Amino acid sequence: MRRWLRDPLIWTGIALVALVVFMPALKPVFALLFPDQDRPLFEQDSFINLTLSHIGLVAASSAISVLVGVSLALFVTRPSGREFRPLVETVVATGQTFPPVAVLAIAVPLIGFGAMPALIALALYGLLPVTEATVAAIEQVPAGAREAARGIGMTPAGRLRQIELPLAAPVILAGIRTSVIINIGTAAIASTVGAKTLGLPIIIGLSGFNTAYVVQGALVVGLLAVVTDLAFDRLGSMLDRWKRDDVVASA
């Protein structure tokens, strides 16, 4: 019970849910903090809907980044794909060199407004951390572990699945963590092209000189990023503990 009370992930999660659900009840607070605003609370859409849409967009774009990034990294770390490594590194680096706003500006005339151009921009922007982390993680696998696996007759696919990926998992997870956190913040600009995200109150607040709207959107985005970061930290700790237990069991 005491451990639960000291858990930052639980308390920040509770704070996030409470802020999202009970934001309308804070209208008097924002009216007091921003007395010059006639409309101190963003009410064009509920923060519950905005948060769920924001999470959905980040989850979808991050899933694409992870799938493509890990696949590319595994390809260029195999003997048959090593010659393509410079090309892959250049392409994924270019995805983060171009700001998401520029990608949105190019995508909107081609595919229209909505979530799709935002999905493309976020997926491209989150590709570099995943790819770089996976390549580095695979290359850091001890050569002795590979040789031992080869010596007992494991196939290349078996070595990848049972030796390389389990040993590389913590570093790969760190790259995914960076990618997701980046996309949580970057997804806010997706509202500029019609996607429903937590950036909507921020953008409307900036265009209408309503600081209260900006603060409300930024608070939820910030808390969402903190909760997600703590969740990844917890997942990483569980992964490390599982690896230690597996080593002990093997010994």
The answer as to whether 133 is a domain residue is yes
The range of the structural domain enclosing residue 205 comes to: 8-18+47-250
Domain with residue 116: its CATH number is 1.10.3720.10
The mean pLDDT of the chain is 86
Q: Residues 69-94: pLDDT tens digits? A: 999 999 998 888 888 888 888 888 87
User: What's the pLDDT score for residue 112?
Assistant: 72
For the segment 112-140, the average pLDDT, to the nearest whole number, is 87
pLDDT > 90 fraction of the chain, expressed in percent and rounded: 46
For the segment 135-161, the average pLDDT, to the nearest whole number, is 83
Residue 55, pLDDT above cutoff 80 = yes
The answer as to whether 1 is a domain residue is no
Residue 5, pLDDT above cutoff 70 = no
The answer as to whether 93 is a domain residue is yes
Q: Rounded to the nearest 10 degrees, what angle do helices 47-76 and 8-21 cross at?
A: 130
Closest CA to 128 of 155, 102, 96: 96
CA distance 237 to 241: 6
The answer as to whether 63 is a domain residue is yes
CA distance 34 to 73: 50
User: What's the pLDDT score for residue 223?
Assistant: 95
- Residues whose CB is less than 8 angstroms from the CB of residue 34 and which lie 6 or more positions away in sequence, other chains included: 40, 210, 211, 212
The answer as to whether 35 is a domain residue is no
Phi, psi of 211 (to 5 degrees): -65, -30
Residue 124, pLDDT above cutoff 60 = yes
For the segment 13-25, the average pLDDT, to the nearest whole number, is 94
User: Is residue 118 a contact partner of residue 57, using CB atoms and an 8 Å limit?
Assistant: yes
Number of domains in the chain: 1
CA distance 17 to 224: 9
The answer as to whether 2 is a domain residue is no
The answer as to whether 200 is a domain residue is yes
The answer as to whether 101 is a domain residue is yes
User: Is residue 220 a contact partner of residue 18, using CB atoms and an 8 Å limit?
Assistant: no
Q: Among the residues of 112-164, which ranges form H helices?
A: 115-125, 127-139, 143-151, 156-159
